[in-house]
Amino acid sequence: MSHQPSASAAGGPTSPPARDLPLPVVLAGARGHGDWHLRNIRRLQDKGLVRLAGICELTPLTDAELDGRQVQQSADFGALLDSTRAAIAVICTPIPTHTDLALTAAGKGVHLLLEKPPAPSYADFRRMADGVAAAGVACQIGFQSLGSHAVPAVRELIAEGAIGRVLGIGGAGAWARDEAYYRRAPWAGKRRLNGVDVVDGVLTNPLAHAVATALALDGATRAEDVAGIETELLRANDIESDDTSCVRVTTAGGRITVAATLCAERPDEPYVVVHGSAGRITFWYKQDRVLVQRSGHGPEETDFGRTDLLENLVAHLTDGTDLLVTPESTGAFMKVVEAIRQAPDPRALPADSWTRVPGENRRVVRGVDGLVAAAADTLALYSELGAVWAPPKEVSAG
């Protein structure tokens, strides 16, 4: 991936090797998606790389949730970092808390794995990224798909001209979430909460990987690589934020269109597709699977491995391995978040455009699966594809 910051740029010129293995880790936010991090920390603990030293939750985990293991728990993040002498903090808390918690850890010299999206606004992102850099700690942003070995492999195919001249990159995410998904936390499905930005939309949170992965394949990962952003934000659910949206990003190198919904008729694996003058490359980023289709060749499908981002952070701290997802390499993604934050509030889809799935308590937008795929295929927005419910084109500056 181009624009990959060096280890020194990521963690300061003398990012010190942390203490001997295993490195003590504090997890902030251990329920919901945080449970994945808890299991991953235990996996790396079994490998002798880290030690789960503390868990920060407002309500302590039960013995059952901890599998009977003993670990320090506290609702006071700063105090827990001090008492555990943590080397790394994994932050998987509500989006609006990311910046302040990251800066608390950085101020104590604790290195970070910060869950995506790194912040709800570009101003908060800059405050976090600048504070982390000034503190000289390493920070990895939790876009797990960017740890896929497929990303550099696809970038290499593009550079070699395997599919000719790149015409653009599309992203498609057709997922399903029931109505309870938006009741899982007070901030779920919100654009703001108590006057604070949240921006929990389909493109900024559940399918944020589609946006970040498309930008990475384009080589447009820094904020300055973004020249313009167009958004169409809609919602079928009774929420404040968007659940069926598309965005088109003009970059220094070309065009990227990502379409996504949480109201799919037939949910499927999300993917990013690179369109070339002599072929195409499709990357199912959750599966690390790549399909190359090009002139004069049969289809070639390859499964790739993946480097875990916490494991990569440990390697960075112990032997100087480059970080895979530094804050600066998510600047372009944060420009997209900012455009979505600044866009008009999502438009409610007409009642006759969606229906409920019997027994699943979820809303489905009729025909949206085809529209999502068509947007990724043609780089067009919903309104340009003739979706009767799409708003007039709205443009946000990057």
**Domain chopping of the chain, boundaries:** 7-145, 149-305+327-396
Q: How confident is the model at residue 250 (pLDDT cuts 50, 70, 90)?
A: very high
Mean pLDDT of the 254-258 span = 97
Tell me what pLDDT residue 20 has.
87
DSSP summary character for residue 346: P
Mean pLDDT of the 283-305 span = 97
Burial class (CB in 10 A: 0-12, 13-18, 19+), 110: buried
Q: Tell me the C-alpha to C-alpha distance, in Å, between residue 308 and each of 25, 281, 360.
A: 15, 24, 33
Superfamily of segment(s) 149-305+327-396:
Dihydrodipicolinate Reductase; domain 2 (3.30.360.10)
pLDDT, one tens digit per residue, over 101-129 is 999 999 999 999 999 999 999 999 999 99
Q: Tell me the C-alpha to C-alpha distance, in Å, between residue 38 and each of 30, 32, 118.
A: 6, 10, 19
Both tokens of 213, joined, read 């992965």
User: In CATH, what is the architecture of 7-145?
Assistant: 3-Layer(aba) Sandwich (3.40)
Q: How confident is the model at residue 7 (pLDDT cuts 50, 70, 90)?
A: very low
Q: Tell me the C-alpha to C-alpha distance, in Å, between residue 71 and each of 83, 131, 261.
A: 12, 29, 39
